[in-house]
């Protein structure tokens, strides 16, 4: 998993172990929602691919740790979900788009309507988390 200090612009310049700013808390919130989404998709039987907006870095995985380790390398990630592994970038059943850097709880930007039953509990969970400006 990516370390929050590696993602926080304030701590890249001035690393202080144990120090947490609002950016760190926002990133932690985004990570929680991403983890919850990936776990929910896998639980529903999907294979998950991760595309960072430039390339697919994880293909047809059911390992939460592998998917999360590849996330947060750009300002957005797409999770592509499919019921059977195909190994093809363009062949998927549904998607979830994440855009990082806003308030944390709004990290899910868009998703396929077919995923509404999977995403509703994730979005309800996101509403319980603290928002960061």
Mean pLDDT along residues 63-91: 92
- Assigned domain for 88 exists: yes
3-state secondary structure 54-91: CCEEEEEECCHHHHHHHCCCCCEEEEEEECCCCCCCCC
- Assigned domain for 36 exists: yes
- Residue 3: per-residue pLDDT: 67
Residues composing the chain: 133
pLDDT digits (tens, 9 = 90+) for 16-26: 665 578 888 89
DSSP code at position 128: T
- Residue 41: per-residue pLDDT: 98
Band (pLDDT 50/70/90 cuts) for residue 1 is very low
Give me the chain's average pLDDT, please: 89
pLDDT digits (tens, 9 = 90+) for 43-75: 999 999 999 999 999 999 999 999 999 999 999
Band (pLDDT 50/70/90 cuts) for residue 132 is confident
- Assigned domain for 133 exists: no
Least confident residue range of 6-15, 67-76, 103-112:
6-15
Q: Residue 116: is it exposed, middle or buried by C-beta count within 10 angstroms (0-12/13-18/19+)?
A: exposed
- Assigned domain for 132 exists: no
Tokens of 52: 């960072």
Instruction: Supply the range of the domain harboring residue 34.
Output: 4-127
Q: Domain tally for the chain?
A: 1
Buried b (16+ CB within 10 A) or exposed e, 73-111: eeebbbbbbbeeeeeeeeebebbbbbebeeebbebbeeb
**Beta carbons within 10 angstroms of residue 117's beta carbon:** 9
């Amino acid at each position: 998993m990516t370390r929050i200090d590696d993602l926080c612009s304030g701590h890249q310049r001035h690393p202080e172990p144990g120090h947490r700013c609002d950016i760190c808390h926002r990133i932690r919130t985004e990570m929680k929602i991403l983890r919850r989404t990936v776990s929910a998709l896998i639980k529903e039987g999907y294979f998950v691919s991760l595309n960072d907006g430039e390339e697919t870095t994880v293909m047809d995985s059911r390992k939460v740790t592998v998917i999360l380790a590849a996330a947060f390398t750009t300002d957005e990630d797409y999770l592509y979900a499919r019921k059977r592994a195909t190994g093809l970038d363009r062949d998927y059943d549904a998607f979830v788009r994440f855009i990082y850097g806003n308030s944390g709880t709004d990290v899910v930007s868009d998703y396929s309507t077919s995923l509404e039953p999977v995403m509703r509990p994730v979005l309800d969970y996101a509403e319980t988390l603290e928002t960061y400006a």
